[in-house]
Each structure stands twice: as structure tokens, then as C-alpha cells.
Structure 1
């Protein structure tokens, strides 16, 4: 039974880097459900990876830091689809420059902050704008955020405010698109995941291990669990959900005073 109802529907997935990527897991769920997945990646190297992982899926290259690239890849995908509408777009793109190591938030460099906003947040707005004519009237756009933008983790730094801007953009896009369509915009907000991108964050492994202890089931969140939520939001089954940020953290966020963690801290 096709529970999700995505079989035969076209979904564009931005952001696959390798087999551990959230974008890869989302695409895998969609392909298994019968969707027609189109990958958009940042470089030729990642395109080769995408072709190996998904040999039957078209792959295009687009560095979203340049808006002209988004317009170009839109036109390329339009030619590929030959008039068939897009039913879903996944935005799994984020970048922060941690090359200088961890800095106090007040010492954030302007160029680093603006670059992170451009790639991690504005790209979602730009993709929505430039792809709007290709979207089916009741299609779905999903971006990937984080479980909370209010927890001030030093090693995540200025990316939390950037993700907060992304989640706010979800709401404003849902509102502005409602003037001419029923396109839905939502965000999946997972807890800490074991991805290659996350490994680039200084001190991430320690945070990941702590999060696992704080999770109610004492097991870390799986990338597949975040992907399943994204697939649901892309499907007609979630037609009543719009402008939302869905937290997927297996209960980590409500377990602040976990007895085991408290005992180890004050014991």
C-alpha cells in the first residue's frame, strides 16, 4: 500500500553530500515509496557520489551561493521534466565557517554571519521564488533546521540564529505563497545527528554523546527518523500542516533534569 501517496511524484532534493547526509536519507525514503527524485548538489564530486548512490535519479549541480546558479538549475530541471510539475522540494543546505575555531558569539565576523545566512537561509527563499512556476498547486517544500534555536551551545555559535531566521522564513513563505497557491512550507528540526557535516563542528562528538544520554530512550536520533518526517511532510498525508517547525528529537528537549545526568553533574 502506498501510504504516503508519493508514487510517481517528482521531488527535487537539494543538498546531498554523501551517504550520511540528511538529504541522502530523505531521497532514499522517497525512492522506496516510488517518488521520482531529482538531486541537486553543490559540486561535480558530489554529483558523482549522488549518481553512485542513486543511479536512476537525475543529478544537477548548483552552488546556491550564486543566485544565477539557482535560476540555471531551475531551467535545466524544467527541461528534464518537460512540463511535468514538481510536487516537492527538499532544502538540506547549511554552511558555517568554523575555520578560525570557536569564537565568542559577540566576536562573530560579519562576513561569516552573512555568508551563513545567504547559504543556509536565503537559498531556501530563493529556491522557492525561482521554482514557484514549476510547483504543483498543492506541493510541499521542506527545509532542515535544528531541534532548538534557543539553546546557546557555544560550539554551534552563530548558526543557531541563522536557523532561527530559516524557521521564521518558513512561516513567511507559507503566508506569501498562500496568495496564489496551496504550496506548503515546513521545517524538520532534528536533534543531534551523526552526519559528516555535523562532524565538522568543533566539539560536536561530545555534544552528540551528551544528547544521547539526555534522550529519553538513551539512544541517539537516527538520520532515518528525521528523513521519515521529511517524507511525511512532502506527502499529501500532511496536507493540513503548513508553516510549522516539527521537532524530531526522541524527547531530548524535555529531559533537561534527567536524574542520571544530574547525579553525574552534582555528585
Structure 2
């Protein structure tokens, strides 16, 4: 069956591509393969220049989501060009780990609020600005994490922020339902090899442990997360709304695997 996902010709705004390892890059690649029109948005001119070399001929806009004026400018540009947005991928997160990972209670107000602003509130602000540009049945997908209840030191203070992001899906769905059928969902990804994650102190060790816990013995790939996001962005997922789809290859069911426990106790 051709165009099974029914994405051919649909306009999808992809926000958050940093490089070839980015989740957003893999999602955009999948979308282009099935015939979607991908509009890219990055945070800076420098990022646009680097992405233009990677993706020549694409429409690449600039929007620093920490600046409301830039979000408004992005929405105005899309509106002025008469584009209808059928889908939005929000793959944006930031946390300041410049001082290393500290105990959660030592998180500073500035660090926490900056991370909330960029990683969570940006989704609300972007969707509000674009509300007049979305098609009536548009799909909005953000990238979360597979669990926000696992108190992992290596993820610092981001899990509570990702929990807020997940909660916002229900509230965005409800408020948008007053005038549209726009859907909001999240791909809750297990540990991935990305440039962003590589910069988190202690992340590599956690990634290796996760891989040992996953029943198949192989970590989740970025392309697996991307394929799930593409499905959620498509009309084929029309019955899925205000949900998190966990993509962790079964990691959460296997923490007490005999071999894993034995290695830990022997150590």
C-alpha cells in the first residue's frame, strides 16, 4: 500500500535538529521518505548554516524558543506564507550542567526555571502562537523520556521537567478541543545515543546499564524513536491523543533480571 501513513504532501514543522544524531533529524528523514513537506526550525543562525550543509535546499527557519518575540516571528512568517501546518515535532530540551551533576536539592532556581522554559513551556508557547496555522486535525508530538519516576542522578533535574511536559499534553488537548481537533502526544524514549545526551555527566554508564537490562540486549535506536514519532504525526494515529508512547525496548520490565541482579551483587 502506497502512502500508508497518509503523510504525503502534508506540512510538518520540525523543531530541534542539531546534527545527524538528533532525534529530530531522524524524524525529519523518515517524514521526507514518505513524502511529507518538512519545514525546519533551529535556534540560531549558526545552527542554520550547519544544517543547510547537511540538508541543502530545505526551508530552515530560526527560532530561539527562549525568546517569545522569535516564536511570534516564526508564527507570523508561516502565516504570511499561507502555510497550513499539519504536524509539529517539538524535540527541544536544555539543562545547564556546566557545574556538573549535583544532588537534586542543590538545583538552583535559575537552572530549573531556564530548563522548564526551554524544555517544557516552549511547547505551550509555540502551539499558542501557531494555533491559527494548524490544520483542524493537526498532530503535535514532543519527545519525552521513558520514565520520570526513576530518580537517576545522571539525569539531574530534567525528569521532573519532562514530567511537566508530559502533563501538559492533556491540558493542551483540552484547551485546543474548544476550537479544533489538534492532537498532542509524546514519544517517551529510553536512553539514546545523541550528541546532547553525551554531554550529560554519567550518562554513558547509565546507557550501558540500560542496554544490559533490555531483554533483547540492544539499546533503543534513534531511528526506532523517530519511526514512532512519524506514526504519531500521521493521520494513522488519529485515535491516540494526550498519551505517552513508551519506546524503551522493554527496559522497564527487566530491572530484576537474574543475570543483572547477580552481576550487581557479585560486584
Compute the TM-score of the two structures, normalised by the length of structure 2: 0.97
Match of 1:139 in 2: 138
**Does residue 49 in structure 1 map to residue 86 in structure 2?**
no
Q: Is the 8 A contact 1:190 1:248 kept in 2?
A: yes
Q: Give, in whole Å, the separation in 2 of the partners of 1:78 and 1:180.
A: 18
Higher mean Cα deviation, 138-147 or 45-54? 45-54
- The residue matched to 1:206 in structure 2 has which SS? helix
Aligned-residue CA RMSD (Å): 0.8
Which residue number corresponds to residue 110 of structure 2?
Answer: 111
Comparing 145-154 with 41-50, greater Cα deviation is found at: 41-50
Deviation (angstroms), 1:256: 1.2
Structure 2, unpaired ranges of 5+: none
| 2:260 is the alignment partner of 1:261 | yes
User: Residue 69 of structure 2: SS of its match in structure 1?
Assistant: helix
Partner of 2:247: 248
Instruction: Report the secondary structure of 1:132's partner residue.
Output: coil
2:126 alignment partner in structure 1:
127
What is the DSSP-based 3-state SS (H/G/I as helix, E as strand, rest coil) of the residue aligned with 1:133?
coil
Instruction: Look up the SS of the partner of 2:12 in the other structure.
Output: strand
Whether 1:216 aligns to 2:215 is yes
Residue 44 of structure 1, CA deviation: 1.5
d(CA) in 1 for partners of 2:253 and 2:21? 27
1:176 paired to 2:175: yes
Could you tell me how far apart the structure 2 residues matched to 1:181 and 1:249 are?
Answer: 32
Q: Distance in 2 between matches of 1:83 and 1:74?
A: 11
Shift of 1:216: 1.1
Deviates more, 1:150-159 or 1:43-52: 43-52
Determine the structure 2 residue equivalent to 1:235: 234
Q: How does 1:58-207 map to 2 (within 5 A)?
A: 58-79=59-80, 82-207=81-206
Distance 1:77 1:260 in 2: 54
The Cα offsets for residues 4-51 of structure 1, whole Å up to 9 and x where unpaired, read as: 110000000000001100010000000001000000001122112322
**Runs of 5+ consecutive residues of structure 1 not aligned to the other structure:** none
TM-superposed CA distance for 1:136, in Å, is 0.1
- Tell me how far 1:78 sits from its aligned partner: 2.4
SS of the aligned residue for 2:35 comes to coil
* Match of residue 34 from structure 2: 33
- Measure the CA separation in 1 of the matches of 2:83 and 2:97: 41
Structure 1: which 4+ aligned runs deviate by more than 4 Å?
Answer: none
8 A Cα contact 2:78 2:133, kept in partner: no
Q: Deviations over 1:151-192 (max 9, x none)?
A: 000121210000000000011101111111100000001100
Q: Is the 8 A contact 1:39 1:50 kept in 2?
A: no
Give the TM-score taking structure 1 as reference length. 0.97
